[in-house]
Amino acid sequence: MVTSTVELRNVAGTEAALGWAGDHTVVVDRPEGKAGGKGLGFNGAQLLGLAIGGCYCNDLRYAAHEMGVALGDIEVTVTVALDGVPFLATGAELAVRCETADGSDARLVIDRAWQVCTVANSLRLGIPVNIVSPA
């Protein structure tokens, strides 16, 4: 089994959080005026969309390499639908534009990437999420 761990801590003087994994960071906050938010970073729904779309973009590259296809431009737009109190994500849609370097149809790469997309597959199947005591 492989694991991936991220860390988050509050940002002094704000009510935002800084998250990191290795050398990469992201700021997490609520919109301006929402529960002390200052709009300094991404909210949860945006992070969910970025996780889905970012993973899929990576998997487009993995699939293309596996298939020996050189890709050109990639554009992925993710829309996350939220509903209820508290808000829950009720669905997500990806609009995908993917070009191959030689102009051939990218549909096989698009489909293969969707088959192996870690985040999308995990969400579709559901995973347990639990709070545990700190180490």
pLDDT in tens, 14-43: 999 999 999 999 999 999 999 999 999 999
Span 114-122, average pLDDT: 97
| Residue 115, H or E segment | helix 107-116
**SS3 at position 8:** strand
Side chain identity at 13, as an amino acid letter? G
Rounded Cα distance, 92 and 123, in Å: 10
- Coil, helix or strand for 76? strand
Average pLDDT value over all residues in the chain: 96
Residue 26, C-beta contacts closer than 8 angstroms, at least 6 positions apart: 18, 19, 20, 41, 42, 47
Q: List the beta bridge partners of residue 20.
A: 7, 25
pLDDT (average), residues 69-98: 97
Q: State yes or no: pLDDT of 66 exceeds 90.
A: yes
pLDDT over threshold 70, residue 135: no
The residues, any chain, with a CB within 8 Å of residue 8's CB and separated by 6 or more, are: 17, 18, 19, 20, 28
Q: How many residues would you count in the chain?
A: 135
